[in-house]
Structure 1
Amino acid sequence: MSDLPRLIYKIATGASLAPARLAGHYAGMPIDLADGYMHFSTAAQLPETLRLHFKDQADLVLLAVPTAPLGDSLVWEPSRGGQLFPHLYGGPLDLGLVEWEAETSVDAEGHCDLPETVR
């Protein structure tokens, strides 16, 4: 895919991320483990992903990950409405790659406040 965004975003719960911080790598949420790859969203996809899959959840953490270091492990595949979503194959995410992280939550209607740094 040409014109890859510089950053993609992983949505994690604080509980799922806590043991990963000690290990230095993150295997993902239960859906990632079940599907065999890690789900990410672009900045444009992030609000809808949060609304659809994380409604009424607090203690969420957004991990901003640069696409370039992921190399061929990052695959863009069609999903919701034919949009190409970034999926990471081949193992856990090295937390040393995370450029920044921010806490967020999603209300019962699916609204959330994203950090200004999401672009």
Structure 2
Amino acid sequence: MSNQITYVFKLVPSSSPVPEVLPERLPLSELDTTSGFIHLSSATQIPGTLKHFFTNDNEVYVLRIKYTTVEKDVKWETPNAEVCGERGEEGFFPHLYNGGRLGSGEIESVAVWHQTGGSWDSALQKAEAWLVY
């Protein structure tokens, strides 16, 4: 994978709807609160994130964040945040350490994806141009 990252993404279940007008700070998920950082994904990691964490959701909000906006507060780590790696390296996820701030100042755009027939494939295909690396 290239180390060129344009965007990172936050996936949010439909049970925590993202308002049409973004506030300065969205509420953190229980996982993010417990972890002490905001879990993000690169574009190439989104299919796996959907498969492992959103199989029971029919709809997700996908928040697109310009990487340069948050880069100074991102560490590329294993999912459990034990080992740091290079930006975009296989197996390392972008974790945002900025005091839990994710809202209108960080989020560039929001998409709503729908699972079809128990699969996210259709949503991923439709969003291919929006999922910039």
- Is the structural similarity TM-score above 0.5? yes
Distance 1:94 1:106 in 2: 25
TM-aligned CA deviation for residue 27 of structure 1? 3.8
Match of 1:96 in 2: 105
Contact 1:56 1:105 in 2 (8 A): no
Q: For residues 27 and 73 of structure 1, what CA distance do their matches in structure 2 show?
A: 18
Contact 1:8/1:43 (CA < 8 Å) preserved in 2? yes
Q: Aligned partners of 2:24, 2:18: CA distance in 1, in Å?
A: 10
Q: Is the 8 A contact 1:56 1:106 kept in 2?
A: no
Deviation, 1:47, is 0.5
Q: Shift of residue 97 of structure 1?
A: 2.4
Offset at residue 108 of structure 1 (A):
7.0
In 2, the alpha carbon distance for the partners of 1:27 and 1:90 equals 14
Q: What percentage of aligned pairs have identical amino acids?
A: 26
Q: Give the structure-2-normalised TM-score.
A: 0.73
Question: 1:10 and 1:51 mapped to 2: Cα distance?
Answer: 15
Aligned residues: 117
Which one has a larger percent strand, Structure 1 or Structure 2?
Answer: 1
Who is 1:39 aligned against? 39
Structure 1 pair 68/34, CA: closer, same or farther in 2 (3 Å)?
Answer: same
Aligned AA (2:77): E
| Counterparts of 1:73 and 1:66, CA distance in 2 | 13
Task: Report deviation, 1:83.
Answer: 0.7
Confirm or deny that 1:48 pairs with 2:48. yes
Q: Which amino acid in structure 2 is aligned with residue 52 of structure 1?
A: H
**In the alignment, structure 1 residue 118 sits paired with structure 2 residue 127:** no
